[in-house]
Structure 1
């Protein structure tokens, strides 16, 4: 009986995590359980060319234009024409402009692709970190089963190149660890990389959030509670930290604590969609007490 209840809770938590990822920063993608390690992309963290769909800027740009207003699409077409006809010296400047424009309208896939162009031509640590971060955002934001693995692989590649430039970069290690945990290698090796970052920088928000997320996805709810409480008390009390803390409490049947955490998330987020979801969740939990 207990196993059946816990199974239902895990199913529920996955749905909640997806909602949370949609409503908040989307920096913390639902992570892979350790038992899913078998059958993943090779453990060196690099996918083979045959395992990852090949995409072009033209393809993703065409798709993205259908998701923005006609006025914005026309503006982007003009910018793209300037990019294509620009001299080599001006091309990078135009690519940066296009990356920003696409990001302004929440189209992270083409935005990331243009940042990759910039990094390939100006291979600085900052440029590769920017590209990797945008690719992770694109990975989180898209539901396209072909685009998602391509975005994750490109993020992995960008953070790998960033780490090659500066082996001490916590941002590069964190990003690379996230891509590994999400499927580009053995999840525990990614966790080890995130733990290394936290050991060096205990208040690294992104690394700590992803470790907390992994604890939830792997059913280690006690560890998740410790992690998210520490984030809230010592790093930053964010709405998503409270939200995931609430889901961990809920999975352990600690409904009073879960309600408090959900309400704190609602208060900080001030998001109408989230507020409606939490109101229903709190009502359900109150009926169980």
Structure 2
């Protein structure tokens, strides 16, 4: 069985490709069935309210080993008869099980249950982060709007406890830009984060991605270079390569793509990068 770190690597590369396909950027071939992500601005109200632990866990259980699903169901049964500290302990176990399987959407609901029982800053931050991971990569797109709304709620709860939290402001900013009718509020939150912490990886990464989407590729380059100075991930190098390509800077794009390939060591991304480099060399 794959280790949790391997799950995370595969998921991150998959998420990279999904995000890139959903950006209207030159040089990226989109799949025919390009549905994109539903947002809170367009999703039907009944779909927002319908999202629940059961609805997302039922979907997640379809993609995991039956024995592992059975282990989680035993914990779920125990949770039905528990309360207080005992319930919190069981929900933490459920959350950890889903984390080990790299299933952030159902994990988020378990963390939310813990945060309601033990309402502290750390619990609400991790809840927001898991809901964010959930709305960004959950395979049932009808659930994404509800997951995004829950991320916003969790980050606001964290900010009530710690109004100066850059992590909460970043998560909230990303959610506002991604799925509400007020994207500029999100951009302002992210700009406020980098003003306070110029090297903030998450804020710079997302500002870079939003710059790509709006065609501001030089700004995107600056953001991704800042990220790479702190944390040179395959995603950051790939986005940098895409930005350079759109600026017509082919040698720089090729170098960045090669760096992303070396760091990811993933066959799917390697194949995609090889095609990109071949195109740029022609």
Q: Establish whether TM, by shorter chain, passes 0.5.
A: yes
The 5 A counterparts of 1:130-169 are: 130-169=126-165
> TM-score, normalization: structure 2?
0.84
Residues 1:267 and 2:262 aligned together: yes
Between the aligned partners of 1:66 and 1:171, the Cα distance in structure 2 is 32
Between the aligned partners of 2:70 and 2:77, the Cα distance in structure 1 is 11
Answer whether contact 2:201 2:227 (CA < 8 A) is retained: yes
Q: For the structure 1 residues 49 and 158, does the alpha-carbon distance in structure 2 shift closer, same or farther, using more than 3 Å as the test?
A: farther
Between the aligned partners of 1:161 and 1:49, the Cα distance in structure 2 is 22
- 1:198 to partner: Cα distance: 0.6
- 5+ residue gaps, structure 1: 1-19, 34-39
- 1:59 to partner: Cα distance: 2.4
Q: For the structure 1 residues 48 and 175, does the alpha-carbon distance in structure 2 shift closer, same or farther, using more than 3 Å as the test?
A: farther
> TM-score, normalization: structure 1?
0.82
Residues 1:227 and 2:223 aligned together: yes
- Note the alpha carbon deviations across 1:142-194, whole angstroms, 9 max, x for none: 13232110111100110011111111000110010010010224111111100
Residues 1:95 and 2:85 aligned together: no
For structure 1, which segment, 61-70 or 47-56, has the greater mean C-alpha deviation from structure 2 after superposition? 47-56
Between the aligned partners of 1:194 and 1:68, the Cα distance in structure 2 is 36
Provide the alpha-carbon RMSD of the alignment.
2.4
Q: 2:206 aligns with which of 196, 199, 210?
A: 210
The equivalent residue for 1:23 is 13
Answer whether contact 2:23 2:213 (CA < 8 A) is retained: yes
Between the aligned partners of 2:231 and 2:183, the Cα distance in structure 1 is 26
The equivalent residue for 2:101 is 105
Between the aligned partners of 1:144 and 1:85, the Cα distance in structure 2 is 30
- 1:271 to partner: Cα distance: 1.6
Between the aligned partners of 1:220 and 1:254, the Cα distance in structure 2 is 14
Answer whether contact 2:47 2:142 (CA < 8 A) is retained: no
- 5+ residue gaps, structure 2: 1-9, 25-38
Q: Indicate the structure whose relative CO is greater, using CA pairs within 8 Å and at least 6 residues apart.
A: 1
Answer whether contact 1:24 1:240 (CA < 8 A) is retained: no
Q: 1:236 aligns with which of 215, 231, 237?
A: 231
The equivalent residue for 2:116 is 120
Between the aligned partners of 1:80 and 1:72, the Cα distance in structure 2 is 13
Residues 1:286 and 2:278 aligned together: no
Q: 1:65 aligns with which of 61, 68, 93?
A: 61
- 1:58 to partner: Cα distance: 2.2
Answer whether contact 1:243 1:262 (CA < 8 A) is retained: yes
Runs of 4+ in 1 over 6 A off after TM superposition: 30-33
Q: How many residues align?
A: 256
The equivalent residue for 1:85 is 81
